[in-house]
């Protein structure tokens, strides 16, 4: 009975995906030039921006992040995922470093979670080095929840290869959530045969998220398998980046929630990521 009671409390999850652009305050096209140095050098306002982001992140159960830094010179040696998890009160976190330039920069994907993480796989996506997919599993067995945090390439041909790769990973899984900066439109995702078969793309739609100051392109996406139900898909107000955060509510089937609840002991904490 206790497991059923806990399961009922996590059948609804609040999700957020956000390309942080390493905490650079971009709100006009010319900032791509005048503030490009912040991709390489520290800025004293960056930690304040992270703290403000936490005010939004606290409202969610799972936060997928792209373009975060793993702790280097440009971030004043602050690991963004660890810092955000601690400041926003997330007990679990995971990080994938995709481009490691040592002490100068560590380009990463990240996840902040209120659910205990059962297992994480980090996949290098096809194409030029530097694009990755995090596969985080919550729970055990066929009813487990599988979350993928992605940041796809810019080129159409490479995107197609990367979507093929992701489609192969998710095809045998029952309960799947995909979220991230996919750098393509919702129509392009629906036109990919394998990807559209594996997910229930008709539940979502393209929400303009880029550029943040005048959003016209739907580049950030959240999609789920047919076993899950999405509602209230929306973009949130700007948070300094050139992308808007994208949020959604997801309802899980009770067997999936029960699997997460049973596996709730343990998990990866921000302090144990490294």
Please report the pLDDT score of residue 30 as a whole number: 47
Cβ pair 241, 20 in contact under 8 A: yes
Please report the pLDDT score of residue 9 as a whole number: 61
Please report the pLDDT score of residue 1 as a whole number: 40
**Domains in the chain, CATH or no CATH each:** 14-20+48-266 (3.60.10.10)
Buried b (16+ CB within 10 A) or exposed e, 140-166: eeebbbbbbbbbbbeeeebbbebbebb
Please report the pLDDT score of residue 175 as a whole number: 97
For 64, the enclosing helix (H) or strand (E) is: strand 62-69
**Residue position matching structure tokens 């796989």:** 121
Residue 130, beta-bridge partner list: none
CA 103-109-112 angle, to 5 degrees, is 110
Q: Give the DSSP per-residue string, 84-145.
A: HHHHHT-SEEEEEEEEE-TTS-EEEEEEEESSPP-EEEEEEPSSSTT-EEEEEEESSSTT-E
> pLDDT digits over 31-60, tens only?
455 555 455 455 665 778 899 999 999 999
> pLDDT digits over 133-170, tens only?
999 999 999 999 999 999 999 999 999 999 999 999 99
Q: Give the DSSP per-residue string, 237-268.
A: PP-SSSS--EEEEEEPPHHHHHHHHHT-S---
Please report the pLDDT score of residue 94 as a whole number: 96
3-state class of 66 per DSSP?
strand
Please report the pLDDT score of residue 232 as a whole number: 96
Interatomic CA distance for residues 243 and 249, integer angstroms: 20
Please report the pLDDT score of residue 18 as a whole number: 97
3-state class of 146 per DSSP?
strand
Residue 217, beta-bridge partner list: 210
Please report the pLDDT score of residue 130 as a whole number: 85
Exposure of 180 by Cβ count < 10 A (0-12 exposed, 13-18 middle, 19+ buried)? buried
For 53, the enclosing helix (H) or strand (E) is: helix 46-57
How many other β-carbons are positioned within 10 Å of the β-carbon of residue 217? 14
For 178, the enclosing helix (H) or strand (E) is: strand 175-181
Please report the pLDDT score of residue 253 as a whole number: 95
Please report the pLDDT score of residue 151 as a whole number: 95
Low-confidence ranges of the chain (pLDDT < 70): 1-9, 22-45, 73, 100, 264-274
Which residue, among 24, 33, 6, 242, has the nearest Cα to 139 in the 3D structure? 6
Interatomic CA distance for residues 25 and 23, integer angstroms: 6
Looking at the whole model, is its pTM more than 0.75? yes
């Amino acid at each position: 009975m206790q497991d059923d009671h806990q399961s009922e409390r996590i059948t609804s999850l609040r999700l957020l995906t956000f390309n942080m652009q390493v905490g650079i305050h971009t709100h006009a096209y010319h900032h791509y030039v005048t503030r490009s140095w912040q991709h390489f050098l520290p800025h004293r306002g960056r930690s304040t921006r992270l703290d403000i982001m936490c005010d939004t992140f606290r409202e969610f159960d799972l936060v997928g992040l792209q373009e975060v830094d793993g702790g280097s010179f440009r971030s004043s040696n602050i690991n963004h995922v660890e810092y955000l998890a601690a400041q926003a009160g997330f007990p679990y976190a995971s990080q994938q470093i995709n481009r490691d330039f040592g002490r100068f920069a560590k380009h990463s994907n990240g996840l902040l979670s209120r659910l205990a993480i059962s297992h994480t796989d980090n996949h290098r996506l096809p194409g030029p080095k530097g694009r990755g997919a995090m596969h985080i599993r919550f729970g055990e067995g066929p009813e487990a929840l599988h979350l993928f945090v992605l940041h796809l390439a810019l080129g159409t041909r490479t995107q197609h290869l990367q979507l093929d790769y992701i489609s192969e990973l998710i095809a045998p899984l029952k309960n799947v959530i995909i979220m991230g900066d996919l750098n393509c439109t919702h129509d392009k995702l629906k036109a990919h045969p394998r990807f559209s078969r594996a997910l229930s793309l008709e539940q979502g739609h393209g929400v303009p998220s880029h550029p943040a100051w005048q959003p016209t392109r739907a580049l950030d996406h959240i999609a789920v398998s047919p076993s899950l139900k999405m509602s209230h898909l929306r973009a949130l107000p700007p948070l300094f980046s050139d992308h808007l955060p994208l949020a959604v509510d997801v309802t899980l089937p009770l067997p999936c929630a029960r699997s997460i609840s049973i596996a709730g002991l343990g998990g990866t904490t921000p302090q144990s990521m490294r």
